[in-house]
Amino acid sequence: MRNVAFGQYYPTDSPIHKLDPRTKLFAGAISIAAAFVADSYWAYLACYAFLFIVILVSKIPVFQVLKTVKSIFAIILISVILNVFFHDEGKVLWAWWKIKITVGGLLYSGQIILRLMFLVLSTSLITLTSTPTELTDGLERFLTPLKYLRFPVHDVAIIMSIALRFIPTLMEETDKITMAQKARGAKFDVGGPLARAKALLPVLIPLFVSAFRRADELAFALDARCYNATEARTKMKVLRFGWRDLTATLCLALFLTVVIFLRLGFFGLL
């Protein structure tokens, strides 16, 4: 895991992996929009059907994708509890003081669960199918118009790229320092939260010192390789918006339209 660049990239040779990162970022935006437009179980059925098809096409094991929901389990739990007890709508099933469980509340909570899960699953699918480098590239291209507002797009992109590049290096270093401090008798897993936080100081301080030293050397290395030599910087890798991306974009548009129609109750009976 630590050997991989960083993140949760799951390499397969699927068409989803081959999409332009910009398309995938766009897909992320569409999914977020869809999750908030959807307000009925029918709409969520559409969302999950779409998601399921994408997972199948991406050739990533469904279980691998579902695992990502774990990270927001606590958030789901809290919002469900709040909504079950305080959302007051329809037939009352149980009541005590101001707290009521109602049919409407239960139904609404169900939707909240589906919405939160959809948000996490669809965005995870982006990070599962693209490397951090691809995403940085995509983001840089998206931000390019800001150049005209004198926003330093390229510098921001380099900062992101360097940050990604140094995450594994600094993790390795943290391990080394932790071991070195343990060898000197430091205890990291005893005492209350405050004591534990304090015990981390002997790791954090050397880590920061080393990070600054690295930054200093890196600055020389960037200069030596002519960073900022010209405004007309070129790129070896050019992102291409191909037929795959066009198809994907059309599918996304269709998907969002369906969800919006369902919200407007356009299909009469639903």
Partner 1 sequence: MSILELNDLSFSYKTDEEETIGVKNINLTVEKGEFIVLLGHNGCGKSTLAKLLNGLLLPDEGTVSVDGFLTSDESNIYKIRSKVGMVFQNPDNQMVASIIEDDVAFGPENLGVERSEIVKRVEWALEAVGMSAYRKGTPFKLSGGQKQRIAIASVLAMKPDVLILDESTAMLDPQGREEVLSVVKKLNADGMTVILITHYMDEATDADRIVVMNAGQIEATGTPKEIFSDKELIDRCRLHPPVCCGVMHKLSALGFPVEPVLTDEEAVEVLCRLR
**Would you tell me which residues interact with partner 1 (CB under 8 A)?**
2-6, 131-133, 158, 161-162, 164-165, 168-169, 214, 217-218, 220-230, 232-238
CB of 213 to partner 1, least distance (A): 8
Residue with token string 């880590």: 207
Q: Compare residues 133 and 174 and give the one whose CB is closer to partner 1.
A: 133
Q: Compare residues 31 and 131 and give the one whose CB is closer to partner 1.
A: 131
Q: What single string gives the DSSP state of each residue in 107-124?
A: HHHHHHHHHHHHHHHHHH
CA count, 13 A, side-chain hemisphere, 139? 18
Residue with token string 């897993």: 189
Within 8 A by CB and 6+ apart from 37, the residues are: 43, 256, 259, 260, 263
Pair 130, 7: CB distance under 8 Å: no
Instruction: Supply 83's token pair.
Output: 């909504």
CB of 217 to partner 1, least distance (A): 4
Residue 239 phi/psi, 5° resolution?
-80, 135
Q: Looking at this protein, which amino acid is placed at residue 159? A: I
CB of 135 to partner 1, least distance (A): 11
Instruction: Supply 151's token pair.
Output: 């926003």
Q: Compare residues 100 and 165 and give the one whose CB is closer to partner 1.
A: 165
CB of 63 to partner 1, least distance (A): 26
Residue 93 phi/psi, 5° resolution?
-95, -30
Q: Count Cβ atoms below 10 Å from residue 211 Cβ, excluding itself.
A: 14
CB of 207 to partner 1, least distance (A): 14
| Cα separation values, 108 from 37, 72, 118, Å | 14, 19, 15
Within 8 A by CB and 6+ apart from 170, the residues are: 207, 211
Q: Compare residues 4 and 197 and give the one whose CB is closer to partner 1.
A: 4
Q: Compare residues 197 and 221 and give the one whose CB is closer to partner 1.
A: 221
Q: Compare residues 165 and 263 and give the one whose CB is closer to partner 1.
A: 165
CB of 188 to partner 1, least distance (A): 25
CB of 228 to partner 1, least distance (A): 7
Q: Compare residues 89 and 223 and give the one whose CB is closer to partner 1.
A: 223
- Backbone region of residue 117 per phi and psi (left: phi > 0; alpha: psi in -120 to 50; beta: other values): alpha
